[in-house]
Structure 1
Amino acid sequence: MANWGSSLLMKLSLMLSLAVVAVANNGDFHLFYFVQQWLGSYCDQHGEKCCYPPTGKPSADFSIYGLWPYYNDGSFPYNCGSGNFNEALLKPMQDSLRREWPSFTCPQIGRKFWVHEWNKHGTCSKSILGEVAYFKAALALKNKVNLLRALTSAGIHPNNQLYPLRSIKQAIARGTGFHPWVVCNRNSQGTSQIWQVAMCVDRTGNKLINCPFVPKGQGDCETKIKFPSFY
């Protein structure tokens, strides 16, 4: 009887622990990470093949990669239920999305990229931003955060040269007023190169803020990284 009671107590304790974890993980998000990527680095990474969107080769610039909600411990929610994605709602901004938030995968997935981003990330912020507001916020942030201008103004150009990571971060901070985090990948020769740049945004999706933490699972760049030419 004592053993049965002890076993039951252990099971109840385990269930309570799991419930606490579930509550903690289902808390509301803390901020957004607005992420942009450089096409040259995406297409030049080992084993990757690129395809231009139907609109053709875009002009040389960073493009939107995502607007991702995060918890205050650096983890992030995803796939938060049915998103009920309605493409018709995005028609007024479709040209802007094609220009600023294109997909470069092969085969081309086009609008499916937006569907994916909304279902995986946007649904986790819909208590604050509905579908239209979510995509409008991303486009407005892209207009506000001009990474290429910040870098070139500091003499850092996409010319296949190596630049100190510190200088890249400082240039973006000066150009935007806020500190970024930078994600690198490696090209086919194994060289570390700038790939993604993210800025922190408050829960409204409108106001840039300084990042309180680095997201979990993000790899470090080398102290000097390549800024490859646009693909």
Structure 2
Amino acid sequence: MKLDTISTFLVMAAVSVVSALPLQNSALNPHATCPANILSCSLGADNVDSCCLPTYGLVVLSQQWYSGLGPREEFTMHGLWPDTCSGDQGPWNGCDPGRIYDDVEMRLQKYLQDDPGTSSAFFKNMTTYWSSYNDDNNKFWSHEWSKHGTCVSTIEPQCFSPKVPNKDVYTYFSSALALRSQHNIYQALAAKKIYPGSNPTVSSMQDAIEAQFGVKAEINCTCGVLSEIMLYFHVKNADQYEIIAPHSHGDCPDIISYPVKSGSLSPPPHCHKRTTPPTTTSPSGSIPSGRQTGPCTTTGAMVCVDPGISNQYSKCNQGLWVLNQCRSGLLCYSDTTTAAHCA
């Protein structure tokens, strides 16, 4: 498959444990004949041309779950990140000062205009599945490219013959979108009856992901709310990705909130850290509030986290406090057994 056809990912075959996005070797610089079966981070990888195996041999696919980003039944892209084989991140300011761009959106549009063979769906997929919560896609894409894309050695300009302006930028994003399509997190969770609006255990989510992809994932939360799921890969033959076990299982509590998307853009959840829980009053009297942690005994009990400021509340679920979010306004009551917390 040529690189230029990668963006046709919507018609690719079903997910497999080994994800292959093959790059036709003839498109590489003639000095680089890629060995077919040597994986990045494996014995002998250091002797393989950097157009064939990435210098940063561990690749992390990060998919995020934020209200207002993308379709209600899809995770969206955060990034495709090359890391060292030990899991350390690349340089914070990227790997090639000459390819740090602040106009990635324009460069992608220009590449699509210059190469009519690329998929007409590519840009629509970018805006659908790789959108920014602050509504500035170009800034988001430029950051991801400059910090991470420039560190992918297999798509450096000298790896293509002939050299085509902005093909490296296009290849980074189209490959990432294709990899995301092959590893659809929402579908993996839904296959095990885990849907937004629930409070699943981390172990049940890990089991669902492992059933679909053969390995577990890194699952991260913000304030106890699901925010991001990461899958880890090694690479062979320039652009064939093999999924591997994660270096970390994430930072979520045992039971987490998997909220329904509201449909309106909003920033990621923000935790209000306090040394003592706040209190406030309402017509019904003093309202217990503040982030609740640890075990609880009254199933269904709800306590406002930040009445009047946030839309979050803690709910007693299966013996543990779980952070929840309202899709609209929040109503707080002094009786923590009152269920009508969301307006």
TM-score normalised according to structure 1 size: 0.70
SS of the equivalent of 2:257 reads strand
Q: Could you tell me how far apart the structure 1 residues matched to 2:209 and 2:82 are?
A: 22
The answer on whether the counterparts of 2:216 and 2:245 sit within 8 Å (CA) in structure 1 is: yes
Q: Does 1:35 align with 2:67?
A: no
Q: Could you tell me how far apart the structure 1 residues matched to 2:123 and 2:62 are?
A: 19
Bigger Rg, structure 1 or 2: 2
Q: Could you tell me how far apart the structure 2 residues matched to 1:120 and 1:99 are?
A: 22
Counterpart of 2:95 in structure 1 is: 80
**Correspondent of 1:131 among 150, 159, 169:** 169
The answer on whether the counterparts of 1:146 and 1:176 sit within 8 Å (CA) in structure 2 is: no
Counterpart of 2:126 in structure 1 is: 97
Once the two structures are TM-superposed, the CA of residue 146 in structure 1 deviates from its matched residue by 1.1
The alignment covers a number of residue pairs equal to 179
Q: Could you tell me how far apart the structure 2 residues matched to 1:110 and 1:144 are?
A: 23
Structure 1: 4+ residue segments shifted above 6 A: none
Once the two structures are TM-superposed, the CA of residue 111 in structure 1 deviates from its matched residue by 1.8
Matched residue type, 2:175: A
The answer on whether the counterparts of 1:137 and 1:206 sit within 8 Å (CA) in structure 2 is: no
Same amino acid, percent of matched pairs: 28
Matched residue type, 1:172: I
Q: Could you tell me how far apart the structure 2 residues matched to 1:152 and 1:28 are?
A: 36
Q: Could you tell me how far apart the structure 2 residues matched to 1:89 and 1:29 are?
A: 26
Gaps of 5+ in 1: 1-26, 41-49, 187-191
Q: Could you tell me how far apart the structure 2 residues matched to 1:212 and 1:39 are?
A: 22
Query: Residues 167 and 133 (structure 1 numbering): CA distance in 2 closer, same or farther, change over 3 Å?
Result: same
Matched residue type, 2:251: D
Once the two structures are TM-superposed, the CA of residue 69 in structure 1 deviates from its matched residue by 0.4
Q: Could you tell me how far apart the structure 1 residues matched to 2:200 and 2:246 are?
A: 25
TM-score normalised according to structure 2 size: 0.48
Instruction: Kindly report the root-mean-square deviation, in angstroms, between the aligned alpha carbons of the 2 structures.
Output: 2.2
Q: Could you tell me how far apart the structure 1 residues matched to 2:246 and 2:71 are?
A: 33
Q: Does 1:210 align with 2:244?
A: yes
Matched residue type, 1:80: C
Q: Could you tell me how far apart the structure 1 residues matched to 2:227 and 2:246 are?
A: 21
Matched residue type, 2:242: L
SS of the equivalent of 1:162 reads coil
Matched residue type, 1:116: H
Q: Does 1:153 align with 2:191?
A: yes
